[in-house]
Chain A
């Protein structure tokens, strides 16, 4: 569900939690059931409700014990019958700075403050020891967030009498304990508060009116963070990060601009941000996350991009590279088969919403963060906690090598198509019109940028385009494609010269961003209608091979043309008799 994706939709998760819970329960039948004791130093009602949603979303069905208001310490130290018979699988201690019994005073000495710090720490450590003795289960403890005010101003952080200084030191002791105890985990509330914005997070209204230590709308973030630790402990982390390439790992498309034209590296702003992202992915790999490629590309282009001298990632960093013209959902299955992993252990990043939607609709259980813009990529992955680290083993550190060996054995599988249904659900609308002055610039640009789906590779200036539009013996169409995710803009151009009763195609191209949407059928259907209207009998198509346009080598054949000629360098000529053309009727609403 989208509301769980970073940034989480707190408003929706709070307001519609009843419906969301119903949906989650009906979407899954095989939940892992876990008993979770939530011991709170403040109100925990909404925290438990939100934690339930996040865990259900991870396939874990929680059963909760909640301490009475602010009774966390009493419950932990002395137990009670209900808690003892509950026998939790996890204990989560939700406390905040407001649960620190005493703070240093400005008149206190350094020694007094040190003693107070040790006492305060012991208050908590005794509780953890007691809990692990009693329940032998993992313990999750909130660290301490900072109060919304600083009595000593900037000095508050470093003066031993400062409250902030006291909290920072207390946290350090907590981390030391966590470092020495493998079943003890810190929920980093201090970070959550900072990233949320401390002013709102610490809004005192929620404490004084309702007993919450944080603002209401921060609760889903808090719950999401705890859920990440829990699902990681129970082995429900994601394992593989599957990446698109063009405009996902670098700026630009290798197939369009060549490997020398893409931006990656420290020279330019766009190159730098992709560089930083690639560095992050390589670091993910170092903690055991497997990287894979799923890209609509010729394999040679994919490898060229990954071998760009200024990039960080190399082909050998990936356990599987699927660069082909197959649909991405099918590639996902092939990657999973090769790695012998379920697709539900995958995370997918792709800059194209429609590609993400293809994968989403295949219902493979793949996590798909919102990655429309490059500046979101890193946080979309990092903040979602897909790979939350609750332990780090030798295996984790060398996992990629293991899988790379397996991946080589996998084979692509052929299976049933349900692609038509996907296309229909996109609700595509095409506008196909004759060239118009307002579009000359974009049409010219397309003729210069498109290299892969380009039959003649005729490069045109704006004035060339204008001449075609004004010429009596030209039939020129451009196509714009929209779908439910937005407007793709002008993506296709076809232009033919009329010679007697034949239309000789001088331009036929399409942007690769709309490959496999059947836009080519929309263009041809319209072209045939227009050609019939002015009394033509045939369309003659030309294909001139280049190093980049092999994907359309048989395009005319697929569209119902007959090959009439081929020369030694692979140039081909094709003929379509209009009266024999059977309209293709793509799942696109065509407007004129």
Chain B
């Protein structure tokens, strides 16, 4: 799956979780999105795992500082 395709799917996940369409890019962080608090973050991780059919371990989840890092991790897990 290309980075662009990952972004497309990711946008669907964000739309469901935050109930609004969000223009995503590498630099977006939780601070930039209304409603992206710690509670919602857990749901987001779980929905992303489900959408891409991957499992993110605790250590990788801790590294997710922005959307770019999330896409990196998805790419990495899909490549396995």
Binding site for B on A (CB under 8 A): 11, 14-19, 45-46, 49, 205, 208-210, 216-217
Contact = CB atoms under 8 A, between A and B. Distances in A.
A208 B58 contact: yes
A209 B43 contact: no
Given A11-B50, A205-B58, A46 B39 contact: yes
Contacts of A11: 46-47, 50
Nearest to A18: B19
A15 B16 contact: yes
A289 to B, nearest CB: 36
A49 B17 CA distance: 13
A591 B27 CA distance: 54
Given A15-B46, A18-B18, 6 more contacts: A15-B13, A17-B43, A18-B17, A19-B16, A209-B58, A210-B42
B61 A209 contact: yes
Contacts of B43: 14-15, 17, 46, 216
B38 interface: yes
A296 B42 CA distance: 48
**Which of B38, B42, B50, B58 lies at the interface centre, i.e. has the most chain A CB atoms within 10 A of its CB?**
B42
Contacts of B18: 18
A216 B38 contact: no
Contacts of B16: 15-16, 19
Interface in B1-56: 13, 16-19, 38-39, 42-43, 46-47, 50
A134 B43 CA distance: 36
Nearest to A206: B42
21 contacts: A11-B47, A14-B46, A14-B47, A15-B13, A15-B16, A15-B17, A15-B43, A15-B46, A15-B50, A16-B16, A18-B18, A18-B19, A19-B16, A46-B42, A46-B43, A49-B39, A209-B58, A210-B42, A216-B42, A216-B43, A217-B46
B64 to A, nearest CB: 12
A14 B46 CA distance: 9
A217 B43 CA distance: 9
Nearest to A21: B19
B13 to A, nearest CB: 7
A472 B17 CA distance: 64
